[in-house]
Structure 1
Amino acid sequence: MQLTPKINQILTHLEKIQSFNAQDSMDDTRKYLETMSFQLSGKREAVAMIEELNIPHESHQIPIRIYRPKGKVRQEEPAIIYIHGGWFIAGGFETHDAVVRKLANKTKATVIFVDYRLAPEHPFPAGLNDCIDTVKWIIENSASLGIDKNRIGIIGDSAGGALATAVSTQIGEQLKFQVLIYPAADNQFNTQSWKTYENGPVLNKQGGIEAWKHYLPEQEFNNPLAIPILIKDFKNTPRTLVLLAEHDPLVDDGKTLAENMKNANISVTTSFYKDMVHGFMHMGEILDEVQTAIDEMAEFASQNFETVRAN
């Protein structure tokens, strides 16, 4: 494994991160991701407005954060729903704030971030249900949100990529595109990339096994809505862009998922980020590739938004 000086700099920094006042191992994991994101994501761009709402539900509320881009040009804007990663057990508003701000400004779309329920407190399918219910709510309330319901896409990274894939198989006919950033597509850990990167960088096999145990009840072990690699029917899946990182244990799972979609006649574009590691989107302070990926996703979104408008 040949890592670049910048990646080695990042890995050295990660080794020194200590979670502040962690209460237990789960709290430590969550605070570690927050600290990493805060220290390595770089400057947070100004956006026109940020709003926080709670979507009412039968037994709970689903928090969302709405990012309005700078330079709003029309009354009804396109929208992107963002589903965050964190092995299904961590992540939230602050861990992905820098990335979402960049996306909003570059795409000129309103980006809606879903703070879905996390395992182990809320195992599958709680988080997935929150994501599906949020998409439906956004479509139903698009007029009051100032959103064009005919121009909505979805983006998910890592565990969020698995959730986005499942959302798209259920209600993807209402979405114009999806972007999957190094998606967590399988829970078997038996690929060549998992053998190569079993102990990192960034992710490790033991941590992944524990996270999936927290997330997935035993009776759901073969549920394709939890494990995207098992999906056979992609009938509702919109045009898809898959971003993969070279030194990522998830890279082979992501390749297989993209290939499965292609075999189901879904329009899929795969983009391979050489030298990158899992989670590189949180490392904009050091890596230029973060902006390259933002630019690529914005171009993909624009093409699909424009295609819809032309129709």
Structure 2
Amino acid sequence: MPTSRSGDGRTPAAAVSAVGLRKSYGDKTVLDGIDLRIPAGSVFALLGPNGAGKTTAVKILSTLITADGGQAQVAGHDLAADPQAVRAAIGVTGQFSAVDGLITGEENMLLMADLHHLSRSEGRRTAAELLERFDLLDAAKKPASTYSGGMKRRLDIAMTLVGGPRIIFLDEPTTGLDPRSRHTMWGIIRELVSDGVTVFLTTQYLEEADELADRIAVLNNGKIAAEGTADELKRLVPGGHVRLRFTDPAAYRSATSALREVTADDEALSLQIPSGGSQRELRTILDRLDSAGIEADELTVHTPDLDDVFFALTATTVPARNTRNTQPEETVR
């Protein structure tokens, strides 16, 4: 995805930055001094289990609540010193739709236009453009209560865009949507970023973060457990391997002797070799097979995915038996 850069072409401009953000409720610390830096024109995903503090972070950065400590800037404005300027620059869509089901989709849009102090003509033009963009024109005159979950989500984001925000906070925007509606929402988010909008996304769908985010942070017990690109995070977790399957028992036995550090499954006639999945490692394995005159019938590569990363980094919040790939899937003998 494209990332906006500052005028010197070297350092990405920060749409959102935070240092040492803290928030507690009573004796429960929800955010324990987190740091964030989100380049303009990118998608940043904040992952974490329920109760990790994702929504609290969004509420602080969107001025809905105040932090107990730390500093933050959003769209170049200090969160504490100029919250009104922050509000003018952002849009927020929460886990639950802000759509009023008693009025039509068009009326919801016009209500938002009034809240942004747009003139009557400008409000109608903006509403019509956004309803068309989000494929809601045919339903514009119908009560929003008749909309499907996906339509309500699209209307919710369309309403968020009425004021032309350059930074949008999407707090679990696809919760409760079916797979088709979720993919539609992904397309909308990609379009927003292609227009230069910065998206701060919280989600529990690991596939969603993998598909959309330029950078991902995993929040656990109020702290950032890890941050980086999806590929960088995946490299944090062991467990990658190559699996070879044979139909000829003789070839299977020969391969077992020819290869090193294998885990053998005599019943399935398969071998598992620890590997990061790089081209060099694969070539080494294949060269050893070729040298011995052996051909595998099937070769598959497993590399850790975001599920593995998530379970490894949040292991204290799930039963130990579910911390899947903090070790390789099978013990190497």
TM-score range, shorter chain: under 0.3
TM-score under structure 1 normalisation? 0.27
Higher strand share: 2
Greater radius of gyration (CA): 2
TM-score under structure 2 normalisation? 0.26
Higher helix share: 1
